[in-house]
Structure 1
């Protein structure tokens, strides 16, 4: 019989709806039940595309004996970390404090009022690798709860006090050129000269750092910044972390060489990386950067697009319980799909070896060089995609998360205007319409929807910041005032709900009270909420002529200046916003009737690599577009107005002088 999760909107929770465990969703009802029964709460946190979450589910949560023990001795709560990032943040802080590491599945035992007293991640069904069996852990917790209750409750109190202490980020200060230069130098010290990227295995796509490095190069001309950005971009694009057949990046590489990925494909990674690759192409003109940008945009629209217009959260790491089953190849499989000649050629081109680079003699596909026969490569890829389509396919987590759709809206809008791909702009607009119509409820954001229905969890700071960022990019791409207006409404909520005398917070002032109010200033796989909000505030200020928003954006990233200086790998997006502030950012209005002359000026303006530059294109005094207000034609011709910090140069009508106006300050 289905348990209490059968009515959930989260695909992850629905994966557990048939478990014999009497799961409950997060909420007061679960904790009230624990108080009534006088038992501890098991909070199990994961997400739909998580490989080890599936493993623990099969081993333990589907096991009748384990379920009976759980049901007898605990109230069991299942949490989708992507739907409740606030809950995840609180208990991840506790898990890391107690164990020194974190990850998913996350297994947390709390008192009936939510105070965590014992935390872990994956537990096996039998003792292994120094880990106790999960049922042994359950028994030990139950015994301790029965015989040492006061000790556990005291531990919970101490843990909450510990995780509630805010990280001392020092006094806010401007992100000066010196701070940002120091950050680039620190990144250079950790750059992998052999395989690119930063640090060793596992190696994650450093999306926010790459954007920072590109903006730093654009402002300063520093060749080292561009070398690190382009080197990392190309290494990932040619490695196994990138799907060489259908586009899209996996979550991370398990090795330092980008060969073997953790195969889940997340919307947020691909949205952030799409933006990076289209900016890499703009900066360098490299064909591989343009190819990867185009393929990643196509992947987002084709494989993650939902019928309602949004973008789904992820494709699973597993297929039929086997990681990578859909994606890896042996030489014989290539021959079977392509014939002897093309099969052997493909094995050479994609570095598929008899020994294999993955498991059981299979290999991930890598494109270590561009072959001299592009038509043959295109034919081979097309046939391999068709052959792969006949294999079992990974499941899709089809919930639509506000923040991640905001990142995708920004990336698709920019890809569309920079490459002329109208399908990308249209996809960005569809996603924006869905989020605006479904997620924006009574003047506040909901975190996610599924099948066009908004879920109950409230939006957190990253939802407001990332969605505003996306809407501002869409406003620039379409010239529609609706998106600028909604972005302003979102940022008004940020100012009202997420900042107080103690500083910034990741949850709203009137959000559900947890055992502590979370705030994480560091980037994770997505920009930190405060950095995302700061970037959106700076961009909004440039587009709307709003000094108040610029001041708040400066304060947001200024609060992270010490983090940028001391740990730039944790503050890439704040550093990228800092580059925009130093560069102006440029405010560029291309004013005039549609036609070839205006189009040429618009293309030149958009080709500007000035960090964080905003560009709007349209008829003079277009309603809802402040940058076009009072921007008439010049001598009867379309004109470009370039402003920096609300101070404007004379309008330009020719391409040749435009380059000088758009150059670094």
Structure 2
């Protein structure tokens, strides 16, 4: 609710999350998640409503408008319940627990997530979006039931669900530790099981809605490198091309929306998330290294430009997301009618409409068009008897004119909180882009962001989760640690600045002390020193953001090689063994684990560059796609284990290729290194 003179103000007005602040003037007496609300529920013996969403969530806004801004509905909520609002992006731990509860109830998950708890914060009922009438009926029936003899049944149900939530996922899915080691045969089966679900016509997986799922396609790039399979490369290239041509990609301003509602990647839910764009930059940069396809270069450059223009804070942090809606309509900021295009582009409109597949009827609401493409620039130029250079100039001109018009429109809302893990994903994207293209500006942005994380998001030896208006308030989760460790290791490999490797090592030691469960050889999602919820969960399944455990396993493997730390490398292998059978059986939900399988199937190359031109050689080497290698180097002496005993020969920059700490003959050119690999 936006009002200059609000009738109501609740406790959310003291929060920094834009999502919580959107509800600060609801007539609902909202509390943020915390001890004050939980104590009130216990003291007054009232049930709790915990309502979880995020700023870019369309249906969250709908439910707020229909129910939470309605004074009569708010009165029922306030009378019977302690009402708690949660930003799932700030508190993924709370979201995980109660989303799992919804699944345990046999219900479909999603947001807004509305769960009813007893005063001990144990869940007994829930759902996602409720229309106002259904919501009111539910509130009244649960409110009355909790005051009657039925309370005992609801409490018993809550106890039962709490027990289910406390069970380990490894137990729940009956995952035995792998009896056999890694093998080419088993890996083939893994790839076959993933390929069964491909959409071979339009790319992606064979279902709608369609999410980009970068970790699937990054795994397949690794698989192609490992096996030479053209089939997996073709499916990956099909997917990346269709994504880049689709309406899910902003053809004018760059950047990807969260998902497409159809199987053709045409109609997105228009919210743009930092975590998607960071990972898709990594994916397209790697795909460019493999194919040298100019479309992939264009996507990387335009997406970085979008993030820098619309999601970057003056301090060098990255904001979380842009909303789907503006002026109360989904996608309005991004779409155009044919008449609008004629007015903006003049005589060139028919050609531009052909290029972007726009019609008078439109392909979206109210005769508007979602701009999208159906053929390559080369094919389009040929079909219209244009030279590629002339077409490229025209497209650039169209984009500039359309961007100028968009700049006059009401913009979608910005969620300007800064999240550590998501920033680390963007940092990783910038580093992958720098490696692929050698663009100095990408490294400048990456360094700026890394220093921002160090300055504003460190919490003693650990990390904070969030930052806004000069304040960081929530302790970091495993996702934050895992992604920062990954990015800091990558900065070292992109610059040979050893401090970043040492920072990654320190954060790894912190996670081993405060998150690790030696019984299951996996990490908890929450810090042992943080707030205890009704269940302490472990994240095993790779979603749009890969599981924090799979990222940690990769980190331990890479750092173990860099630091000659056998404890790290052995733990990475042990972590994979715990989920190996499930990875092979259901790889679509565990593709980052599958990437670790690919990495451990062959020895990882240890590449060392020493001598006066170490930086130049590193840049040259980085242009190549080398997913199963760690790279270390220095132009001077170093105490890092990988550099010990590896000196420049005859004062000339020297490159070493080693496997399992045994090196091949030292060489002086990148071409020779590639031959040895």
TM-score between the two structures when normalised by the length of structure 2: 0.93
Residue in 2 that maps onto 1:419: 437
Residue in 1 that maps onto 2:263: 256
Structure 1 position 495 matched with structure 2 position 512: yes
Instruction: Please report how far the alpha carbon of residue 603 of structure 1 lies from its aligned counterpart in structure 2 after TM superposition.
Output: 3.8
Residue in 2 that maps onto 1:343: 349
Instruction: Please report how far the alpha carbon of residue 210 of structure 1 lies from its aligned counterpart in structure 2 after TM superposition.
Output: 0.6
Q: Of 345, 356, 360, which residue of structure 1 is paired with 2:362?
A: 356
Query: Secondary structure of 2:365's partner?
Result: coil
Residue in 2 that maps onto 1:334: 341
Residue in 2 that maps onto 1:459: 476
Instruction: Please report how far the alpha carbon of residue 238 of structure 1 lies from its aligned counterpart in structure 2 after TM superposition.
Output: 0.7
Task: Say whether the 8 Å CA contact 1:534–1:556 is kept in structure 2.
Answer: yes
Instruction: Please report how far the alpha carbon of residue 600 of structure 1 lies from its aligned counterpart in structure 2 after TM superposition.
Output: 5.5
What per-residue deviation string (whole Å, max 9, x for no partner) do you get for residues 12-67 of structure 1? 11111111111111112111111222211010000111111011111111111111
Q: Which shifted more, 417-426 or 246-255?
A: 417-426
Task: Say whether the 8 Å CA contact 2:437–2:623 is kept in structure 1.
Answer: no
**1:289-438 correspondence runs (5 A):** 289-339=296-346, 341-369=347-375, 370=377, 371-372=380-381, 373-438=391-456
Q: Distance in 2 between matches of 1:604 and 1:645?
A: 24
Q: Distance in 1 between matches of 2:292 and 2:16?
A: 44
Task: Say whether the 8 Å CA contact 2:621–2:670 is kept in structure 1.
Answer: no
What per-residue deviation string (whole Å, max 9, x for no partner) do you get for residues 210-258 of structure 1? 1110011111111112111111111101101101111111000000010
Residue in 2 that maps onto 1:515: 534
Change (3 A) 1:469 1:501: closer
Structure 1 position 477 matched with structure 2 position 477: no
Query: Secondary structure of 1:454's partner?
Result: coil
What per-residue deviation string (whole Å, max 9, x for no partner) do you get for residues 122-179 of structure 1? 11113xxxxxx21111101101111211000000011111222223321146444333
Instruction: Please report how far the alpha carbon of residue 99 of structure 1 lies from its aligned counterpart in structure 2 after TM superposition.
Output: 4.0
Q: Of 130, 140, 150, which residue of structure 2 is paired with 1:123?
A: 130
Q: Distance in 2 between matches of 1:140 and 1:612?
A: 58
Task: Say whether the 8 Å CA contact 1:51–1:318 is kept in structure 2.
Answer: yes
**1:595-606 correspondence runs (5 A):** 598=614, 601-606=617-622
What per-residue deviation string (whole Å, max 9, x for no partner) do you get for residues 484-516 of structure 1? 111111111221222224422212223311111
Q: Distance in 2 between matches of 1:498 and 1:162?
A: 21
Structure 1 position 163 matched with structure 2 position 165: yes
Residue in 1 that maps onto 2:387: none
**1:95-244 correspondence runs (5 A):** 95-126=102-133, 133-147=134-148, 148-167=150-169, 168-172=174-178, 174-244=181-251
Q: Which shifted more, 422-431 or 198-207?
A: 422-431
Equivalent pairs, count: 650
Task: Say whether the 8 Å CA contact 1:542–1:614 is kept in structure 2.
Answer: yes
Q: Distance in 2 between matches of 1:620 and 1:246?
A: 43
Structure 1 position 528 matched with structure 2 position 547: yes
Aligned-residue RMSD, C-alpha: 1.6
Q: Distance in 2 between matches of 1:660 and 1:491?
A: 34
Instruction: Please report how far the alpha carbon of residue 337 of structure 1 lies from its aligned counterpart in structure 2 after TM superposition.
Output: 1.2
Instruction: Please report how far the alpha carbon of residue 557 of structure 1 lies from its aligned counterpart in structure 2 after TM superposition.
Output: 2.4
Residue in 1 that maps onto 2:675: 660
Q: Distance in 2 between matches of 1:87 and 1:298?
A: 34
Q: Distance in 1 between matches of 2:327 and 2:317?
A: 26
Q: Distance in 1 between matches of 2:622 and 2:393?
A: 31
Query: Secondary structure of 2:367's partner?
Result: coil
Q: Distance in 2 between matches of 1:4 and 1:430?
A: 35
Residue in 2 that maps onto 1:542: 561
Task: Say whether the 8 Å CA contact 1:179–1:564 is kept in structure 2.
Answer: no
Query: Secondary structure of 1:559's partner?
Result: helix
Change (3 A) 1:213 1:416: same
Any gaps of 5 or more consecutive residues in structure 2? Answer: 1-7, 382-390
TM-score between the two structures when normalised by the length of structure 1: 0.95
Change (3 A) 1:172 1:405: farther
Q: Distance in 1 between matches of 2:619 and 2:43?
A: 66
Task: Say whether the 8 Å CA contact 2:243–2:265 is kept in structure 1.
Answer: yes
Q: Of 282, 286, 289, which residue of structure 2 is paired with 1:275?
A: 282
Q: Which shifted more, 415-424 or 604-613?
A: 604-613
Instruction: Please report how far the alpha carbon of residue 636 of structure 1 lies from its aligned counterpart in structure 2 after TM superposition.
Output: 2.3
What per-residue deviation string (whole Å, max 9, x for no partner) do you get for residues 380-400 of structure 1? 111111111111111111111
Q: Of 603, 606, 612, which residue of structure 2 is paired with 1:593?
A: 612
Structure 1 position 569 matched with structure 2 position 585: no
Q: Distance in 1 between matches of 2:358 and 2:465?
A: 42
Q: Distance in 2 between matches of 1:405 and 1:522?
A: 21
Q: Which shifted more, 173-182 or 544-553?
A: 173-182
Q: Distance in 2 between matches of 1:445 and 1:499?
A: 16
Instruction: Please report how far the alpha carbon of residue 626 of structure 1 lies from its aligned counterpart in structure 2 after TM superposition.
Output: 4.7
Q: Distance in 2 between matches of 1:428 and 1:542?
A: 24
Instruction: Please report how far the alpha carbon of residue 644 of structure 1 lies from its aligned counterpart in structure 2 after TM superposition.
Output: 2.1
Change (3 A) 1:393 1:238: same
Q: Distance in 1 between matches of 2:21 and 2:533?
A: 24
Instruction: Please report how far the alpha carbon of residue 632 of structure 1 lies from its aligned counterpart in structure 2 after TM superposition.
Output: 2.1
Instruction: Please report how far the alpha carbon of residue 622 of structure 1 lies from its aligned counterpart in structure 2 after TM superposition.
Output: 4.3
Q: Which shifted more, 382-391 or 275-284?
A: 382-391
Q: Distance in 2 between matches of 1:113 and 1:156?
A: 9
Task: Say whether the 8 Å CA contact 2:652–2:668 is kept in structure 1.
Answer: yes
Query: Secondary structure of 2:542's partner?
Result: coil
Task: Say whether the 8 Å CA contact 2:361–2:367 is kept in structure 1.
Answer: yes
Instruction: Please report how far the alpha carbon of residue 208 of structure 1 lies from its aligned counterpart in structure 2 after TM superposition.
Output: 0.5
**1:606-617 correspondence runs (5 A):** 606-617=622-633
Structure 1 position 578 matched with structure 2 position 597: yes
Query: Secondary structure of 2:350's partner?
Result: helix
